[in-house]
Amino acid sequence: MLKLLAMINTDHLINRFTRYVTIDTESDPTSDTTPSTKKQWDLANVLVKELKEIGMEEVTIDDHAYIMATLPSNLDIEVPTVGFISHFDTSPDFTGANVRPQIVKNYDGGDIMLNEKEGIVLSPKDFDDLLFYKGKTLITTDGTSLLGADDKAGIAEIVSAMEYLIQHPEIKHGKIRVGFTPDEEIGRGAHKFDVQKFGADWAYTMDGSQIGELEYENFNAAGAVVTIQGKIVHPGYAKGKMINSMYLATDYINSLPRMETPEHTEGRQGFFHLHQIKGTVDRTILQYIIRDHDREHFEARKSMMQELANELNAQYGTDRISVEIKDQYFNMREKIEPVMHIVSIAEEAMKKAGVKPIIKPIRGGTDGSQLSFMGLPCPNIFAGGHNFHGRFEYVPVESMQKAIEVIVNIAQLVAKQ
């Protein structure tokens, strides 16, 4: 295997990545369009142009901004077609507008001042993973936005790996397909992905976090909207008449298991996560996500939310609380286990790159979880970033370079096997 790390132009990679992250692509869970925001087209169109410029073939973008492209085989024999997939939207949990990436070279292991004016510091006291990257080059935010390494790092890695393979035709590989999707952050990234058109035997999402991550298990996931209807009356004449929906909402929130929330769980433990409240006296809406690796526990969590509404409605003597639950994706493990050789190939590719594989369940989801149930087995590989969805997000450049090397190694291993 080639030792690519020293061969990949660092400045070129940094420029490509920072170009992507400065384009705002935040998705919107309240929208019913695909993509959910028009601004996602801004990066999508840039990517289509760039894929053509580096020499990719069959570059297409459909009416919903799903991008696909082909790197043809340079072999005389037929081998499986492998795919690499990333998403270009960023999370609505924190603003993705006006991203101003900062480059920290030869990180010394200390505090990083993200924004002196606001006193925002990225510190290993809060995020001890930083200490893994002493001496490395980090790309951070300026403290006022997320970075967008989730998953523009993955896109930069895939494009860079394809560019490298095109520039080095002596590296033997089969047909490779790449795909870039909108709206992954709101659970709809694969909803309109055309698996048959993509035509890969299997694929990998480049959407993991720290270097070495290799994942083929993820949460079962659902979204829940709890609507509480109150009764608004002039407060001066409200006695015995007013029903404040926000107080009822508080009863509902406090009746769910307090320790089964993201901040109190880890590993395969599931949770209820209240991520948005919008309330007035007349009506309050609670937005929840429900997560669990175990399918039976997942179904029990959904039932609990509905049963709690029923109990409170009985207590209040009227149906003031309604719950709408929609499944988002399921644990891809059951679809990957019958084809575990694809995980083994990724594991070997990492070892060839000098990366220690970290095989663990995802406390989240990727496009790959939905794609696996759509007939495209799709484990997840690290993209290198940390602290996704917030102002403390960062990515080591060297981790991105290793991800590129892993992609190239996978292409070579599939060709050999």
pLDDT of residue 365: 75
- Is 58 an annotated catalytic residue? no
User: In 3D, which of 287, 400, 314, 371 has the Cα closest to residue 15?
Assistant: 400
The average pLDDT across 156-161 equals 98
Q: Per-residue pLDDT tens for 118-152?
A: 999 999 999 999 999 999 999 999 999 999 999 99
The whole-model pTM stands at: 0.85
Residue type, position 15, single letter: N
Q: Are residues 209 and 316 in the same domain?
A: no
CA distances from 387 to 144, 220, 224, 329, 390 (A): 14, 22, 25, 23, 7
Q: Is 214 found in the same domain as 128?
A: yes
193, part of any domain: yes
Catalytic one of 24, 26, 28, 89: 89
CB 214 within 8 A of CB 350: yes
The answer on pLDDT for 39 being more than 80 is: yes
Q: What confidence score (pLDDT) does residue 359 get?
A: 94
Same domain, 338 and 323: no
Give the active site residue among 184, 215, 292, 393: 184
Q: Give me the mean pLDDT over the 250-258 stretch.
A: 97
Question: What average pLDDT does the structure give for the chain?
Answer: 95
What are the φ/ψ torsions at residue 50 (nearest 5 degrees)?
-70, -40
282 assigned to active site:
no
Q: Give the pLDDT confidence score for residue 157 in this predicted structure.
A: 98
Q: Are 293 and 331 in contact (CB under 8 A)?
A: yes
**Three-class SS string for the chain?**
CCCCCCCCCHHHHHHHHHHHHCCCCECCCCCCCCCCCCCHHHHHHHHHHHHHHHCCEEEEECCCCCEEEEECCCCCCCCCCEEEEEECCECCCCCCCCCCCEEECCCCCCCEEEECCCCEEECCCCCHHHHHHCCCCEEECCCCCCCCHHHHHHHHHHHHHHHHHHHCCCCCCCCEEEEEECCHHHCCCCCCCCHHHHCCCEEEEEEECCCCEEECCCCEEEEEEEEEECECCCHHHCCCCCECHHHHHHHHHHHCCCCCCHHHCCCCCCEEEEEEEEECCCEEEEEEEEEECCHHHHHHHHHHHHHHHHHHHHHHCCCCEEEEEEEEECCCHHHHHHHCHHHHHHHHHHHHCCCCCEECCCCCCCHHHHHHHCCCCCCEEECCCECCCCCCCEEEHHHHHHHHHHHHHHHHHHHHC
**Which of 268, 303, 328 delimits the end of a domain?**
328
Residues 296 and 343 in one domain: no
pLDDT surpasses 70 at 6: no
For the chain, what percent of residues have pLDDT higher than 90?
A: 92
Number of other residues whose CB lies within 10 A of the CB of residue 38: 11
Question: How far, in Å, are 147, 255, 277, 388 from residue 307 at the CA level?
Answer: 39, 11, 20, 33
User: What pLDDT, on a 0 to 100 scale, did the predictor assign at position 184?
Assistant: 93
Q: What are phi and psi of 274, to 5 degrees?
A: -80, 110
Is the model more confident about 334 or about 282?
Answer: 282
With contact defined as beta carbons under 8 Å apart, do 388 and 145 qualify?
A: no
pLDDT score of 5 more than 80: no
Domain span at residue 264? 220-328
Given a cut of 70, whether residue 302 has pLDDT beyond it is yes
Mean pLDDT is lowest, of 224-228, 330-334, 411-415, for 330-334
Same domain, 26 and 139: yes
Residue 30 above 60 pLDDT?
A: yes
Domain stops at, among 281, 297, 328: 328
187 touches 366 (CB < 8 A): no
Residue 266, pLDDT > 60, answer yes
In a shared domain, residues 113 and 14? yes
User: At which of 288, 304, 328 does a domain end?
Assistant: 328
Specify whether the backbone of 395 is left (phi greater than 0), alpha (psi in -120 to 50) or beta: beta
The strand pairing partners of 292, in sequence order, are: 220
CATH number at residue 52: 3.40.630.10
187: pLDDT confidence band, cut at 50, 70 and 90?
Answer: confident
Residues 322 and 344 in one domain: no
| pLDDT (average), residues 376-401 | 97
226 & 80 share domain: no
Rounded to an integer, the average pLDDT of 253-281 is 96
Q: In what order do the strands lie in the sheet with 380-382?
A: 57-61, 67-71, 176-181, 82-87, 202-208, 380-382, 213-215, 358-359
Query: What number is the average pLDDT over the span 245-269?
Result: 96
Residue 2 lies in a domain: no
Give yes or no: residues 36 and 14 share one domain: yes
Q: How far apart are CA 271 and CA 298, in angstroms?
A: 9
What pLDDT does 4 receive? 53
Tens digit of each residue's pLDDT (9 = 90 or more) over 207-229: 999 999 999 999 999 999 999 99
Please, which pLDDT band fits residue 2 given cuts at 50, 70 and 90?
very low
Residues 178, 200 within the same domain: yes
In a domain, 63, yes or no: yes
Domain count, the chain: 2
Confirm whether 5 is domain-assigned.
no
Kindly report the CATH number assigned to the domain that includes residue 236.
3.30.70.360
Band (pLDDT 50/70/90 cuts) for residue 117 is very high
pLDDT at 3: 52
pLDDT tens per residue across span 72-89: 999 999 999 999 999 999
**pLDDT exceeds cutoff 50 at 1:** no
Position 374 pLDDT exceeds 90: yes
